[in-house]
Amino acid sequence: MSDKKLAVGFDRYIERDWLDQIAQWVIEGKDRKALHGLVDDYLKPFINGATSLRKTKNVLFGIWVNTKPESEQFKRQAIEMFPSASRDERLAIHWGLALASYPFFASLTRLIGRLLRLQDDIISKELVRRSVEQHGDTETVRRATARLLQSLAQWGVLKAESKSLFHPNSKIGQHNTELATWLVIAPLLSSEKPRVMVDELTAEPALFPFDAFPGIFQPTQSSLINIIHQGIGETIVALRKA
């Protein structure tokens, strides 16, 4: 898949509390019609204009409500884990759903992760330039890239030193094997790779906010993937078809 052909989708500033709230309503079993009304009323104090509200709601629905057939079991597991999850674990669940739901989010966070392996900070102009190189020089891409940076700072993943300079916050430790295994699988759901090596999955740069996964990732315990090949020092997995 060419990155330039990606639909942006995740193109609004999203606050972490908004994600927590829609997750709670989904867990309570609110139907789609009720969710539309609840989210509209909830967001009105934060967002001016019907169009901006609708587009922000669309992003939230894309993460927690709308489900592609290949992501149905993945999202069901998120709903099961969320009620007992800690605050850090809830962020990991939001992150995993965003990766699975929005290839643009996966692409941009992968780019941020790669940059942070080379340098200590993210300069917004540099990220926008690289994003434009991958996705096309459009106002939508530029705006969405800037809003994603702002969102990640609000989530506590990045620290905004200024409007244009961001530092990574401390990595979030992984202590829950079930959740860590679920999270590592998330990038596969926005990828066209039919199979991937486990070492590549556990080193995925799009998971940059979270501590190292080797050792805690347990592919044999996941109902979402199949082990295609297992040899000395090499395990290859693929998504299990719905």
What local confidence, expressed as pLDDT, does residue 3 receive?
43
Look at the chain and count its residues: 242
Question: Exposed (0-12), middle (13-18) or buried (19+): which is 12, by Cβ within 10 Å?
Answer: buried
Q: How far apart are CA 91 and CA 96, in angstroms?
A: 9
Q: What is the identity of the amino acid at 77?
A: Q
- What pLDDT does 232 receive? 74
Both structure tokens of 86: 């800690």
Per-residue confidence (pLDDT) for residue 2, from 0 to 100? 41
CA dist 171 and 47 (Å) reads 31
The CA-atom distances, in angstroms, between 30 and each of 37, 38, 42, 60, 83 are 11, 9, 15, 14, 15
Strand partners, 231: 234
Segments of the chain with pLDDT less than 70: 1-6, 242
Q: What is the pLDDT of residue 1?
A: 38
CA pair distance 167, 149, nearest whole angstrom: 11
Residue 125 and residue 133: Cα distance in Å, rounded?
12
Angle in degrees, 0-180, between the axes of helices 16-27 and 32-43, rounded to the nearest 10: 150
Give alpha helix (H) positions in 175-215: 177-185, 198-202
Q: The pTM is what? A: 0.94
Q: Quote the tokens at residue 1.
A: 């898949």
Using only C-alpha atoms, the chain has a radius of gyration, in whole angstroms, of: 18
The whole-angstrom separation of Cα 30 and Cα 190 is: 26
